[in-house]
């Protein structure tokens, strides 16, 4: 069993261009992180998987992208201004980031959104008027959220700027239990699709007094991080709290006509995912150390028997789908053929394909292993004779010869 520590993960993330400390050349800035070249590819792949699974592949979902700064009255109506606080000594500290909109005496105090849900509720009427959906239906959003955490910690687990993937699923009041169970299953399905270890997942039924002020039922989906079992994502039954509150404060009716012609304020099931926490759980699940090499796998491959680190990413989320190598970069004929294969793959493989000719083949394999690249393709002298390449599998180190014209199909 690989011992996964935060030190190993943080070091790998910095070394291989996944996640950097924010404003690092100025000593950093607590609670803020920057995603590097491979980190942004990983993040985008996770978001695309989530969007495809929960929006594009369903007939009862649509998406929006709302503003980060909302009318401040919206946060008053939702209870965030009065109740979104953490204890700090003898006083309560509101964790919303305040800002001002406008100049001088005309400036208005506003807030960076602490969750993406607010923008969904404010656009409920717009979506209903535009699309005329039938219940049940959902609205999804991916975007940044901000919380002025008193003590950000544990790498990207608790930070001040983060990204959420949230759904508000609108149902008839009497149908919330069935919808809750459906989304309970969906949460597990998404985490499995990403590649998060199911053995490290646990459900926690949140009791009275511990739930958010808007929730009548909440399940926290917890994960075994190196620093303990903590919340990864959540599922909440928000009743009609939000729509009714905005209906009252805004003066705009947020009821909709049900199929039987009755006016109804829908109730809401909310599955909420944090992208940054999902990425951290994925690193913990995928981080692997083993000994690779020996006669079977090292023969004629440039690999020696040694310990290695690799990320066992699912192909769907791996930041680099395949890497292409010329066996020797000082042989023009190999480089030219490798470039030809590289350009074909870049056009036909969905996702990033990488070129690497730096160092010997063994070192290149190790670099690709560390960023989780599932397949490496080496163009060697045999390629020039029969148009086959060496295809290496990340997890086993096994190698096979594949014809160039069958390579795209094989990788897919």
Give pLDDT tens digits for 87-129.
Answer: 555 585 678 999 999 988 888 999 999 999 999 999 999 999 9
Are 279 and 336 part of one and the same domain? no
The 10s digit of each residue's pLDDT in 192-214 is 999 999 999 999 999 988 888 78
| For range 51-64, the mean pLDDT | 98
Closest among 398, 369, 374, 410 to 45, alpha carbons compared: 374
Which pair of tokens denotes residue 83? Answer: 């109740």
Are 238 and 334 part of one and the same domain? no
Last residue of a domain, one of 284, 315, 349: 284
DSSP code string of 381-408: HHHHHHSEEEEEETTT--EEEEEGGGHH
Are 85 and 127 part of one and the same domain? yes
Residue 92 lies in a domain: yes
Last residue of a domain, one of 260, 284, 308: 284
Q: What is the pTM of this model?
A: 0.93
The 10s digit of each residue's pLDDT in 264-283 is 999 999 999 999 999 999 99
Domain that holds residue 370: 293-411
Domains held by the chain: number: 2
Domain of 318: which CATH number? Answer: 3.40.50.800
Position 90 scores a pLDDT of 53
Which pair of tokens denotes residue 131? Answer: 């699309």
Last residue of a domain, one of 256, 284, 312: 284
What single-letter DSSP state applies at residue 325? E
Residue 1 lies in a domain: no
3-state helix, strand, coil in the chain (%, to 5): 35, 30, 30
Are 327 and 390 part of one and the same domain? yes
- The helix-helix angle for 176-194 and 275-286 (nearest 10°) equals 50
Residue 325 lies in a domain: yes
The answer, yes or no, to whether residue 326 has pLDDT greater than 50, is yes
Are 180 and 35 part of one and the same domain? yes
Domain of 147: which CATH number? Answer: 3.30.930.10
Position 106 scores a pLDDT of 83
Worst-scoring range by mean pLDDT, 53-62, 97-106, 201-210, 290-299? 290-299
Are 80 and 180 part of one and the same domain? yes
């Amino acid at each position: 069993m690989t011992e996964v520590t935060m030190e190993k993960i943080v070091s790998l993330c910095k070394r291989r261009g996944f996640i950097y400390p924010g404003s690092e050349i100025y000593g950093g800035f607590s609670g803020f992180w920057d995603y590097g070249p491979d980190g942004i590819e990983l993040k985008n792949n996770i978001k695309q998987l989530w969007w495809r699974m929960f929006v594009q592949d369903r007939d009862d979902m649509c998406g929006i992208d709302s503003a980060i700064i909302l009318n401040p009255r919206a946060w008053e109506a939702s209870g965030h201004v009065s109740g979104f606080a953490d204890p700090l000594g003898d006083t309560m500290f509101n964790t919303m980031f305040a800002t001002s909109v406008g100049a001088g005496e005309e400036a208005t105090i506003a807030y960076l959104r602490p969750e993406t849900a607010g923008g969904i509720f404010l656009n409920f009427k717009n979506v209903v008027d535009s699309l005329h959906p039938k219940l049940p239906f959902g609205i999804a959003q991916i975007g940044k959220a901000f919380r002025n955490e008193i003590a950000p910690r544990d790498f990207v687990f608790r930070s001040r700027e983060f990204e959420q993937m949230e759904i508000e699923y609108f149902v008839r009041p009497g149908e919330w239990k069935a919808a809750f169970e459906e989304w309970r299953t969906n949460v597990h399905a998404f985490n499995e699709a990403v590649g998060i270890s199911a053995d490290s997942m646990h459900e926690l039924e949140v009791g009275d007094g511990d739930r958010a002020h808007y929730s009548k039922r909440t399940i926290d989906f917890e994960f075994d991080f190196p620093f303990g079992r903590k919340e990864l994502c959540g599922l909440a039954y928000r009743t009609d709290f939000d729509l009714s509150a905005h209906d009252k404060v805004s003066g705009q009716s947020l009821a909709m006509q049900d199929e039987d012609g009755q006016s109804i304020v829908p109730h809401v099931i909310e599955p909420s995912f944090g992208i940054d926490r999902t990425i951290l759980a994925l690193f913990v699940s995928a981080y692997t150390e083993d000994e690779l090499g020996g006669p079977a796998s090292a023969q004629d491959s440039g690999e020696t028997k040694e310990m290695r680190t690799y990320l066992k990413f699912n192909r769907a989320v791996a930041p680099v789908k395949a890497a292409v190598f010329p066996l020797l970069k000082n042989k023009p004929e190999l480089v030219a053929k490798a470039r030809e294969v590289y350009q074909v793959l870049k056009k036909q493989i969905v996702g990033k394909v990488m070129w690497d000719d730096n160092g010997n083949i063994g070192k290149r394999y190790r670099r690709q292993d560390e960023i989780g690249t599932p397949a490496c393709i080496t163009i060697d002298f045999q390629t020039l004779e029969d148009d086959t390449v060496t295809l290496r599998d990340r997890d086993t180190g096994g190698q096979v010869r594949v014809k160039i014209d069958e390579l795209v199909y094989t990788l897919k």
